[in-house]
Amino acid sequence: MRDDDYRRLLDDRARHPERIAQAAAVRRRRPLLADRDQILIIAADHPARGALGVSGRPMAMASRVELLDRLVVALSRPGVDGVLGTPDIIEDLLLLGALDDKIVIGSMNRGGLQGAVFEFDDRFTAYDTESIVAMRLDGGKMLCRIGLEDERTAATLESCARAVTELSREGLAAMVEPFWSKRSGGVVRNDLSADAMIHAIHVGQALGASSARTWLKLPVVDDMERVMEATTLPTLLLGGDPSGAPDEVYASWAKALRNPGVRGLVVGRALLYPPDDDVAAAVDIAAGLLEGAAR
């Protein structure tokens, strides 16, 4: 992102907010699955939950200018199909002209702030179905953490079900990210065992009045073959906050991509903030994994 792009963005934000809707109205759109069976989406909705850390760097995503620069680089690479983000980020990218011919998924429930006493209260504080339709986005994504010991889970399930129903009626994709979760030591942790993911999938895929346009967003876990047998819905694999060496992470993605029903990757921090900060190279590796899985 050039310096004049940044200055123009600041000026548009202050003087010409109407240009956001104008850019959305003329954005060139594309099908979710066009000429390929698998897609690569860049995720950028972590900051809205206060989750700014990457691989031990607690403030890695603090600079919006740096994040946008990395997103523009990622979206310019061959094989990148789109982006998932909250309104503030999507609107910046619209003003920068970075979203033509890209899939754009709006992140909906960001109310469960990382580390908050109310973290299980995953309220819909970002996009809603009406705004997704108005901005001509291609779908909505919702986090669905299921805490059997937390009564706030009931409201989250109901809200996610309503969003799935509304998006389906508008002919838009509903991307559900289900987890079996528990608070331990004051921190909400997702159970990444195969059995827990299978439980979460069965709850998540049944939300809403129709699953016709529901996609799942799932982590790569052990025994992924058995996990994927729990659903017939199209599934994208999430990258999460990488804890292992990049080569190990990429190898786990490549193996999981070979499972029937997996339709690609939704990755944010692992590609936007790789250890060597070479965003283009990290994105190209991920795109190459999709090409390899398609052979």
- Over the stretch 208-240, which tens digit does the pLDDT of each residue have? 999 999 999 999 999 999 999 999 999 999 987
Tokens of 257: 């991509």
Please give the pLDDT value at position 245: 85
The arrangement of secondary structure in 3-294, i.e. its CATH architecture, is Alpha-Beta Barrel (3.20)
Q: Which residues of the chain have pLDDT under 70?
A: 294-295
Left, alpha or beta for 6 (phi > 0: left; psi -120 to 50: alpha)?
alpha
- 160 vs 214: CA distance, rounded Å: 11
To the nearest 10°, the Cα dihedral for 81, 85, 90, 96? -60
Q: What is the DSSP letter of 57?
A: B
- 168 vs 166: CA distance, rounded Å: 5
Please give the pLDDT value at position 293: 77
Q: What is the DSSP letter of 142?
A: E
Please give the pLDDT value at position 295: 63
Residues 80 and 44 sit within 8 Å (Cβ to Cβ): no
- 144 vs 127: CA distance, rounded Å: 15
For the chain, which residues make up each domain, given as ranges?
3-294
In the block, which residue shows the tokens 């809603």? Answer: 128
The reported pTM is 0.96
Residues 235 and 197 sit within 8 Å (Cβ to Cβ): no
Q: What contacts 118, CB < 8 A, 6 or more positions away? A: 111, 112, 152
Please give the pLDDT value at position 111: 97
Alpha helix locations (H) across the chain?
3-15, 18-26, 64-75, 87-95, 129-134, 153-169, 194-204, 224-228, 246-257, 269-272, 279-294
Q: What is the DSSP letter of 209?
A: S
In the block, which residue shows the tokens 């059995």? Answer: 195
Please give the pLDDT value at position 116: 96
- 44 vs 107: CA distance, rounded Å: 9
